[in-house]
Each structure stands twice: as structure tokens, then as C-alpha cells.
Chains A and B, each alone.
Chain A
């Protein structure tokens, strides 16, 4: 199975900060990488699909980049509702999720 490893596992940031989360795949997955946001006690929500495509309804401050093995999710200006856990997920082969990155208030 293809493994996807996120870093960092957690980070602290302030409102208005720009934040970047990284996801690395264990082999080339082209652009078959999605990002989700999960707020506490809630179901995940799709933010980015195909590495860089913003899901309908997701705020434009979220952006995704990358291809091959290295990917990033950037939140350009943190809002209160963005403090959550973020997961990457590869869809190149047997679907797997990263372990998550928790974005906390500094």
C-alpha cells in the first residue's frame, strides 16, 4: 500500500497567520491527493481534490499544490473556524489517509 505521511502532526498559529501542512507519499501518485478538514465532533469535509482543485463551497483561502510525492495545503489567513485537524488522502491506489495535522490556537 502507498503510505502518506503528514507533517507536522500539530502546529500552533494565530488568527491571520498563513499556515502550511505537508503530505508526502511513499511513491509517485501524480496529483491523486485530496485534503479534508475535520472540526472536533464533526465529520470531515473535502477541501481540495486532485492536489490543487478547490472543492465547491470551500473558502478560497485554502489552496493545494504538489505532484509526484510531495504536496502542501496552505491556509492563507487563519480564521477562527480553521482551527481543526487536516487529513490528506491518496486516491492513486488503495485509498489511504495521512495521520492528520492538528492546527491549534497559539
Chain B
């Protein structure tokens, strides 16, 4: 059974940094693309970043490009999101999710999600 557990969220001042982690189990982590998605309070979903199974390919939404860095440690079955220069608008619940290919397109859908970790940017 796929299990994803995020951690590392909390209250951070604008301009500060935070590192989120996602512990994966129940599947072959090193075979899977992984993604971070966020959801601001009461709002919709935003695809933040994804990383290929070996970590050689990454993608970032424009809203976080240059400030966030996604990485993974396949030996530890763990996914990370380093968040720097945080802004108030980064306040959200951050989910990690496993990617599923769709019709040959990698990282196309999200078939398993963690429960999320809340990041609050406030002075």
C-alpha cells in the first residue's frame, strides 16, 4: 500500500526558509516521478514542482522558480522541497504525490497523495 507522509511545515517569516520532506513507502520509490502540489487556505490546487525518478529532470511553476528546489534521496525513499525567500502568498498546505504516466506522458497524473503539511508565511 502506497504511503506518503509529509513533514517540515510551520510558521515562517517572509524572506525565511523551510525544508519540507516526504517519506515514501509501499512502492518502488526510485521508479516513480514525484510532485509537490500546494493549496492555499480555502483555494484550489497548484502544481508546484516535479522531479524525475532519478532526479535528473525537474520542473517548477513560475510562481516558485528560483526560490524553491526539489530533490530526492532514493536510498532514503524521501522527497524534499527546499523553500527559500518565502512570501506570504506561499502560505498553503503542501502535498507530495506520486506521479502516474498517462498515455505515454510522464508525470501526468497524481495517483497517491500524502496528507499534507501546512506552511504559514507571516510576520
Contact = CB atoms under 8 A, between A and B. Distances in A.
A50 B111 contact: no
B114 A44 contact: no
Nearest to B50: A95
How extensive is the interface on chain A, given as a class? 20 to 34
Contacts of A96: 47
Size class of B's contact patch?
20 to 34
A44 B44 contact: no
A44 B110 contact: yes
B103 A31 contact: yes
A63 to B, nearest CB: 17
B116 to A, nearest CB: 6
Nearest to A92: B105
Nearest to A34: B109
B115 interface: yes
B89 interface: no
Most B C-beta atoms less than 10 A away, residue of A38, A45, A46, A91:
A91
B100 A46 contact: yes
Q: Is the interface of B mostly helix, strand, loop or mixed?
A: strand
A98 to B, nearest CB: 7
B47 A97 contact: yes
A56 B115 CA distance: 20
Nearest to B93: A43
Interface string B81-123: 0000000000000010000101101011111011110000000
Nearest to A97: B45
B73 interface: no
22 contacts: A31-B103, A32-B102, A32-B108, A34-B109, A36-B45, A43-B114, A43-B116, A44-B45, A44-B95, A44-B110, A46-B100, A46-B111, A50-B103, A55-B111, A87-B45, A89-B110, A92-B105, A94-B61, A95-B50, A96-B47, A97-B46, A100-B44
Cβ-closest 4 pairs across A and B: A91-B108, A43-B113, A95-B47, A97-B45
